[in-house]
């Protein structure tokens, strides 16, 4: 079978791309090795930049978002037991962030796409990308373990298959630039009401802590832990103890609840210096990883999808290849800014065991600067709410 754009991966990059293309009458088929249930139930990021939420509305996907999401107009930075409020809205001329979990975004995008007659094959197997970079790019796969081997041919292939995906391996002459951090995040999901109306990012001698939320009844919290630590070393009481200590401030209490999920992830930054090869273009985590601090990953994936869409749209409108040719450069300008910001938030707020007392003190001075200078606060805020897309 044939389509115009073969999209490998039904995550944020792949699904936003499919929606943008569909709106311009460009046909795509999405393949994913995961089942729809896996995709819709995996808990990941939770913060949408202003333009990302606006794009959902623009695509006609904003109904549940507008009903259920929480709009946050500020965040707090905490250190030395003091909480400092950053009024994002006031600092950025009216921009805010939207707390709406990634899997809810994906549910809306999947339902919306299928509802418009879009094609998504979930749970496919033996996906073979050997022929994605030639003049006749194609992908072969099976829908079921003993189903026939099918070949899907397209004018272009979009590799949106995440950091563990195979598409990146087919980008010729690629180099990864990367950094690993000597700490991880232990994240929990808790059945409880919110303890605070906004997110709190805390730097504490015992390590970073983040108070976040998912809904009125589900809260998300993280604490810095060692990279190679075993979750078994963290019974619930120990996690609560760390959260209480790291988030402690006068006149405030953290509300506990039942912890129904916990896990540890390592933190790393990585960027592929090439995001295209022939008719193959990679987007999102397939091309770059940010540490979670600042919640840029999902938003960056959507920005790649927008830039790729613009290139494809120009091509199909008979406008030539200029935007497709510039895809990598256009994406990487934004990617590196988000990498810088995510690295900055990470180093600002975590206690790095490899840093000496001088370096630790520098981070405290940075926090004091950000929380006392309007110029410094504005720089943080404009990155947090999301830098404007080019063009």
CA distances from 313 to 154, 308, 316, 319, 324 (A): 15, 8, 5, 8, 9
Judged by CB under 6 A, the residue of 11, 184, 194, 294 near ligand DHB is 294
Judged by CB under 6 A, the residue of 195, 293, 346, 383 near ligand DHB is 293
- Pick 171 or 267: Cβ nearer ligand DHB: 267
Handedness of CA 330, 333, 338, 339 (dihedral sign): positive
Q: In this structure, how many other beta carbons lie within 10 angstroms of the beta carbon of residue 212?
A: 22
> Distance of alpha carbon 275 from its chain centroid, rounded?
17
Q: Which of 296, 315, 350, 363 is catalytic?
A: 296
Sole window of 290-298, 306-314, 349-357, 362-370 interacting with ligand DHB (rule: CB under 6 A): 290-298
* Antiparallel, parallel or unpaired: β 125-128 and 138-142: antiparallel
Q: How many residues bind ligand DHB (CB under 6 A)?
A: 10
Residues 188-217, one symbol each (x = binds ligand DHB by CB under 6 A, - = not), give: -----------x------------x-----
Count the alpha carbons within 13 Å of 162 in the hemisphere toward its beta carbon.
Answer: 12
Active site residue 201: yes
Active site residue 296: yes
220 binds ligand DHB (CB under 6 A): yes
Instruction: Reduce the DSSP state of residue 197 to 3 states and report it.
Output: coil
Sole window of 45-53, 64-72, 266-274, 368-376 interacting with ligand DHB (rule: CB under 6 A): 45-53
47 binds ligand DHB (CB under 6 A): yes
Sequence-separated (6 or more) residues with CB below 8 Å from residue 323: 307, 310, 311, 314, 315, 330
Q: Which of 19, 72, 315, 363 is catalytic?
A: 72
Q: Which of 113, 181, 292, 327 is catalytic?
A: 292
295 binds ligand DHB (CB under 6 A): yes
Q: Would you call 249 exposed, middle or buried from its count of C-beta atoms within 10 A (0-12, 13-18, 19+)?
A: middle
Judged by CB under 6 A, the residue of 11, 12, 46, 154 near ligand DHB is 46
Active site residue 137: no
CA neighbor of 328 nearest in space, from 273, 289, 271, 280: 273
Residues 149-178, one symbol each (x = binds ligand DHB by CB under 6 A, - = not), give: ------------------------------
- Residue with structure tokens 């995510």? 342
**Can you give the binding site for ligand DHB, defined by CB under 6 A?**
45-47, 199, 212, 220, 292-295
Residues with a catalytic annotation lie at 72, 201, 292, 296, 384
């Amino acid at each position: 079978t044939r389509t115009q754009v073969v999209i490998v991966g039904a995550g944020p990059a792949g699904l936003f791309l499919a929606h943008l293309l569909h709106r311009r009458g460009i046909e795509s088929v999405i393949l994913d090795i995961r089942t729809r249930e896996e995709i819709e139930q995996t808990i990941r990021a939770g913060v949408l930049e202003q333009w990302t939420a606006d794009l959902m509305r623009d695509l006609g996907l904003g109904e549940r978002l507008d009903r259920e999401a929480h709009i946050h107009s500020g965040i707090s930075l905490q250190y030395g037991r003091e909480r400092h409020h950053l009024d994002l809205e006031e600092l950025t001329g009216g921009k805010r962030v939207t707390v709406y979990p990634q899997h809810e975004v994906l549910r809306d995008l999947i339902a919306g796409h299928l509802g418009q007659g879009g094609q998504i094959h979930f749970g496919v197997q033996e996906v073979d990308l050997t022929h994605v970079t030639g003049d006749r790019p194609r992908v072969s796969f099976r829908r079921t373990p003993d189903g026939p081997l099918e070949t899907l041919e397209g004018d272009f292939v979009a590799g949106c298959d995440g950091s563990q995906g195979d598409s990146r391996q087919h980008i010729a002459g690629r180099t990864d630039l990367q950094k690993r951090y000597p700490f991880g995040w232990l994240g929990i999901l808790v059945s409880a009401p919110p303890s605070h109306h906004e997110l709190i990012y805390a730097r504490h001698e015992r390590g970073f802590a983040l108070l976040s939320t998912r809904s009125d009844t589900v809260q998300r919290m993280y604490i810095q832990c060692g990279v190679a630590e075993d979750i078994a070393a963290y019974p619930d009481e120990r996690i609560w103890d760390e959260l209480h200590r790291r988030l402690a401030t006068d006149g405030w209490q953290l509300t506990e609840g039942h912890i129904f999920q916990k896990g540890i992830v390592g933190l790393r930054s990585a960027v592929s210096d090439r995001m295209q090869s022939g008719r193959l273009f990679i987007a999102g985590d397939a091309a770059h990883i940010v540490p979670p601090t600042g919640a840029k990953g999902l938003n960056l994936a959507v920005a790649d999808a927008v830039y790729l869409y613009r290139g494809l749209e120009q091509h199909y409108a008979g406008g030539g290849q200029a935007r497709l040719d510039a895809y990598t450069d256009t994406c990487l300008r934004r990617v590196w800014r988000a990498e810088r910001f995510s690295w900055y938030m990470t180093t600002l707020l975590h206690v790095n065991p490899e840093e000496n007392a001088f370096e630790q003190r520098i981070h405290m001075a940075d926090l004091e600067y950000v929380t006392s200078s309007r110029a410094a606060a504005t720089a943080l805020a404009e990155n947090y709410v999301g830098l404007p897309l080019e063009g």
